[in-house]
Amino acid sequence: MTYEQIETFLTVVTYENISSAADYLFISQSTASSRIQLLEEELGTQLIIRHKGHRKIELTAYGEAFIPIASQWAALWKDTQNLKNSNAVQKLNIASVDAINNFTFLPLFHRLIKEYPRLKLSVSTHHSGEIHGLVESQTADIGYVFSEVRYQNIISKPVYRELMYLVCHKNSAYHDNIHPEELDPENEVFLRWGPDFQRWHDRHWSADRYPVISVNTGSMLQHYLQEPGRWAVAPMSVVQAFREEKELVYYTMQDPPTPRICYQLTNRYPKASHTRAIALFEQELETFIRENQSICTFENWMLVQ
């Protein structure tokens, strides 16, 4: 079975005519027919029904069933050919939620750009549901989210866990090991970090108490914490990103929110031309997590709530 045979079969299917397919491929009609015949002989079954006097070909039931297999075979062949150029440039598409792209993985991305100039990263920010879909469709090679959703063709594995802290202006009357009941929800700058965080929040404050403001990205928090008394809850990677903002401090909490588990998403059948880049990124990520004191290396016990 050769790529030329598969290509000819798929082109015949598209044009529904061997002569037109031959013209498109710049080969003779006899060459196109010969390729189809050789493919049928190798598969041991007929793919196309040829009617004399009819321009349109007709596919057998096996021919119809063979179309998606042939398409996948052709795609894999093209990816294999691209591997010949993999030493020149390796491409990797990463889709993550805002906090990961703009805070947690920012030092990692900078390091990869510096140390691996031939690794070309494409980083995009999306909501969790969108990221699952991008990995499923292979638009993204790797995804990072804080929610685990089961997809048939996605491998999901926890990679790290991140603790949550109180963040506030340094002149606020707060302290380490503070209990949530000491905090006025009407002074809160609220960001919904996920369903677990929302359940923790609902357990401590009634729904009729409204925050100062609600935001939807970690980068927005610091803009509303410049006034003493205001507070927010954020993971350490976000807190550390505010370290240049000298007016802000952070404290530990009693009964804190459940630490956030980050899940890595990959497709069960990754693009052949991207597998080396995926493996390199996973290796560098493992080192980054191990060396980064703001996040916890994942262990199985962390799954126990």
Instruction: Give 150-153 contacts, CB < 8 A, sequence gap 24+.
Output: 153/267, 153/268, 153/269
Task: For 211-225, write each residue's pLDDT tens digit.
Answer: 999 998 888 998 999
- Average pLDDT of the chain? 87
Q: What is the pLDDT of residues 140-157, one digit of tens each?
A: 999 999 877 777 789 999
At 82, the pLDDT band (50, 70, 90 cuts) reads: low
pLDDT-derived band of residue 304, with 50, 70 and 90 as boundaries?
Answer: very low
Q: What percent of the chain has pLDDT over 90?
A: 49
- Name the residue with higher pLDDT: 37 or 273: 37
| Section 245-250 average pLDDT | 87
pLDDT on residue 87: 58
According to the model, what pLDDT value does residue 86 have? 52
Residue % of the chain over a pLDDT of 70: 93
Give the whole-angstrom CA distance, residue 253 versus residue 232: 12
Instruction: Identify which has the larger pLDDT, 208 or 79.
Output: 208
The C-alpha atoms of residue 124 and residue 302 are separated, in whole angstroms, by: 28
Q: Are 273 and 86 in contact (CB under 8 A)?
A: yes
Confidence bin at 305 (pLDDT 50/70/90): very low
Structural Rg of the chain based on CA atoms: 27
Domains and CATH numbers, the chain: 3-84 (1.10.10.10), 86-160+260-303 (3.40.190.10), 164-251 (3.40.190.10)
Q: Which long-range contacts (CB under 8 A, 24 or more apart) does 86-89 make?
A: 86/273, 86/276, 87/118, 88/118, 89/118, 89/120
Q: Tell me the whole-structure pTM to 2 decimals.
A: 0.62
- Between 18-25 and 3-15, two packed helices, what is the crossing angle to 10 degrees? 120
293 has a pLDDT exceeding 80 = no
Q: What is the DSSP string of 23-84?
A: HHHTS-HHHHHHHHHHHHHHHTS--EE--TT-SS-EE-HHHHHHHHHHHHHHHHHHHHHHGG
pLDDT, residue 300, reads 58
Contact 169, 225 (CB under 8 A): yes
Per-residue pLDDT tens over the stretch 159-190:
988 889 999 999 999 999 999 999 999 999 99
- CA-based end-to-end distance of the chain: 53
Average pLDDT for 134-139: 90
Stretch 194-201: mean pLDDT? 89
Distance of CA 77 to the CA centre of its chain: 25
The pLDDT of residue 191 is 94
